[in-house]
Amino acid sequence: MMGTRQHYKAELDALQARFGLRVASRLSQASEELPHDLTERLRVAREQAVARARGLRELSPVPVAVAAGPGSLALAPPPSWWLRLASALPLLLLVAGLLLIQQLHLREDIHAAAEVDAALLADDLPPEAYGDPGFVAFLKQPER
Amino acid sequence: MHRSASGHSKPLATEQELAEFLKSTEKRAFKRTAYAVRDEDAALDIVQDAMIRLAEKYADRPAAELPLIFGRILSNATMDWFRRQKVRQAVVRNFSELDAGGEDGDMDLLEALEAADPGSSAPEPDDSLSRGQTLALIENEVAALPARQREAFLLRYWEELDTAETAMVMGCTEGSVKTHCSRAVHALAKALAAKGLKP
């Protein structure tokens, strides 16, 4: 009795599967006969999705395959702290150089101003004379 | 053809694999959705939406996992559409349409399936129907199935997922999948036999 029932169930399952696959085959035939405009819209949708995935992949970091020896490929190890420091070194040198140049210019300006001040103070003419309108007019005379 | 879900030890899908997967499945996905929503434009929108969701969130998963993930996304996108259409009650009603099963019913099913089997001595289908008409009639009967039965049937036999994979996509138990499939086959066999059709 049990054996008969199991046999019946197995036969039923097999028939169901065969029937299901035959219907699916007919549905596949029908899906291959979709109108051209529908297949084109599906193609455009697919291409948009693939382009979206490509854009997202380009934005996110991915492991880079590098040659690890003859005939083999391996994933590149993540950069060490020393390598990261070394890659930042040129930038640090540039900033330090700019600061040095700025300091040199500042020193030169101070030095030049000090020389002018010293010359003025060491001259016989007092610096207040340059504030006198009469003396300025005298200096502007072409011939003295 | 298949493929089972697994961990991330498998190689990740390349752009070409993603494109090839979508190309291989897009027409079936469209048809499946069109049977459910009965609106070609809406079905196209849903499939496009599912493709974009797959590309945005799951394109970096192993290629072998894409069919299951896409199946689930498509089902969810279809449900979202029904929610937006405010016809969820109709869907839920369809979901709960369960035929009363039993051994007598199984005997009817066996007879119907044997009659539908090409090797049987049952009468030939109506020769006056063109191939296109036959396909259209079969599609109509598939579309007329209750939603869950149709989904289980199409995932098992058209997408060729196994019972466990179908249950994962549908978010139900394997037992429910078997029940839905059996009832779908039963209903289709009866409906096609009534029209004198063999699939």
Residues of chain A with C-beta less than 8 angstroms from the C-beta of B116: 19
pLDDT score at A2: 59
Tell me the CA end-to-end span of chain A in Å, nearest whole number.
Answer: 143
| Stated pTM of the model | 0.60
Q: In chain B, helix, strand, coil percent, each to 5?
A: 70, 0, 30
A56: nearest CA partner in chain B: B56
H helices of B58-153, in order, are 66-84, 88-95, 103-116, 131-144, 147-153
Average pLDDT over residues B60-89: 84
A143, pLDDT greater than 70 = no
Collapsed DSSP state (helix, strand, coil) of residue B191: helix
Element (H, E) at A54: helix A36-59
ipTM exceeding cut-off 0.95 for this assembly: no
Backbone phi, psi, residue A9, to 5°: -65, -45
Nearest CB to B185; choose among A16, A26, A30:
A16
A106, pLDDT greater than 80 = yes
B193, pLDDT greater than 80 = yes
Residues A38-63: tens digit of each pLDDT: 999 999 999 999 898 888 877 765 55
Q: Report whether B47 contacts A45 (CB < 8 A).
A: yes
**Cα B135 from Cα A141, distance rounded (Å):** 113
Pick from A6, A11, A34, A50 the residue to mutate for testing the B interface (most B CBs within 10 Å).
A50
Mean pLDDT over each residue of chain A, to the nearest integer: 81
Q: Report whether B155 contacts B71 (CB < 8 A).
A: yes
Q: What is the CA radius of gyration of chain B?
A: 18
Average pLDDT over residues B64-93: 80
B139: nearest CA partner in chain A: A27
**Cα B122 from Cα B171, distance rounded (Å):** 38
Q: Report whether B94 contacts B148 (CB < 8 A).
A: yes
Question: Across the interface, do B22 and A25 touch by the CB < 8 Å criterion?
Answer: no
Number of H helices, E strands in chain A: 4, 2
Residues B172-186: tens digit of each pLDDT: 999 999 999 999 999
Residues A1-14: tens digit of each pLDDT: 557 777 877 888 88
Question: Across the interface, do B110 and A11 touch by the CB < 8 Å criterion?
Answer: yes
A68, pLDDT greater than 70 = no
Collapsed DSSP state (helix, strand, coil) of residue B12: strand
A39: nearest CA partner in chain B: B27
Q: Is B48 exposed, middle or buried (0-12, 13-18, 19+ CB in 10 A)?
A: buried
Collapsed DSSP state (helix, strand, coil) of residue B5: coil
User: How many other CB atoms sit within 10 Å of the CB of residue B76?
Assistant: 16
pLDDT score at A66: 44
Query: How many inter-chain contacts (A to B, CB under 8 Å) are there?
Result: 127
pLDDT score at B31: 92
β-bridge mates for residue A66, sequence order: A74
Residues of A at the B interface, defined by Cβ within 8 angstroms: 8, 11-12, 15-34, 38-39, 41-43, 45-50, 52-54, 56-57
Residues of chain B with C-beta less than 8 angstroms from the C-beta of A18: 113, 117
